[in-house]
Amino acid sequence: MEERILVLFDTHVPHQINLEPVWEFAKDFKPTQVVLGGDVHEWSSVSSWLADQSKLLEGGTIAASYEELEHVIFKPIRKAAPKAKKVFIVGNHDDRINTVLRVQPNFRGFIELSKNIPKDFEIVPVNMPYCIGSNLIVIHGLYTNAFHAKKTVEAYHVSVLYGHVHTFQSYTLISPIDPKKFYMGQSIGCLSTLNPEFMKNRPNSWMNGFCYVYVNSDETFHHVPVIIVDGKFYAEGRKYK
């Protein structure tokens, strides 16, 4: 059976771009799986706890952050892809919640991702891969060097889709013995604004985009990176805006 997988990275709610065109594409694409590839929320509500244990709230409360996720991400996914399996990969920003729990154990039982992410989402722990099959995994991303796609392929020895760097880069390693065997590393752009307030107008290489994947019954796959420019993109022969 063919799988159709929609992969979305780095929304950094509440700094997300207009996601309505993405949800419209999801309705047309009818994915069997929707994978949130990490840094789904910015988690500014806990950043001050990590810096100096200050009790000053910056960016709202933790409860408000979870409510934002429900309104901005979870509910639209359910509406656009009601039959899809849903996966939440924990990114380094999402993992701030776990860091707070390590320094403030009294919060245990209340603020964990596992307690607040809806049960219809499978949670993949930080730095762990989500396996789409024996040939392809999705991770949030580990490396930010100039050749991060090459570094990722060499580290995992499998084809990898990842975010974290907010831009597109690819690298392919083909077996010299069997050309049909290859490892592909592909970073995918972000779904956050390209100059959020915390960047303070610093230059960057960020690009907006997402990815969708066809996976065949023999676990061969075809992935399609989609670049979003000024809120518009083309996919499957249609323009979305």
**Coil, strand or helix at 237:** coil
- Predicted confidence at residue 54, as pLDDT, reads 46
pLDDT, tens digit, for every residue of 204-222? 999 999 999 999 999 999 9
- Range of lowest pLDDT (70-74, 89-93, 132-136, 197-201): 197-201
pLDDT, tens digit, for every residue of 1-20? 799 999 999 999 999 999 99
**Which alpha helices (DSSP H) does 15-173 contain, by range?**
20-29, 44-52, 62-69, 75-80, 96-103, 113-116, 148-156
**pTM of the entire predicted model:** 0.94
Query: Are 49 and 65 within 8 A, CB to CB?
Result: no
pLDDT, tens digit, for every residue of 148-195? 999 999 999 999 999 999 999 999 999 889 887 889 999 999 999 998
* pLDDT band at residue 105 under the 50/70/90 scheme: confident
* pLDDT band at residue 56 under the 50/70/90 scheme: very low
> Mean pLDDT across the chain, nearest whole number?
93
**In whole angstroms, what is the distance from residue 188 CA to residue 232 CA?**
16
- Predicted confidence at residue 175, as pLDDT, reads 85
Q: Work out the average pLDDT over 106-128.
A: 96
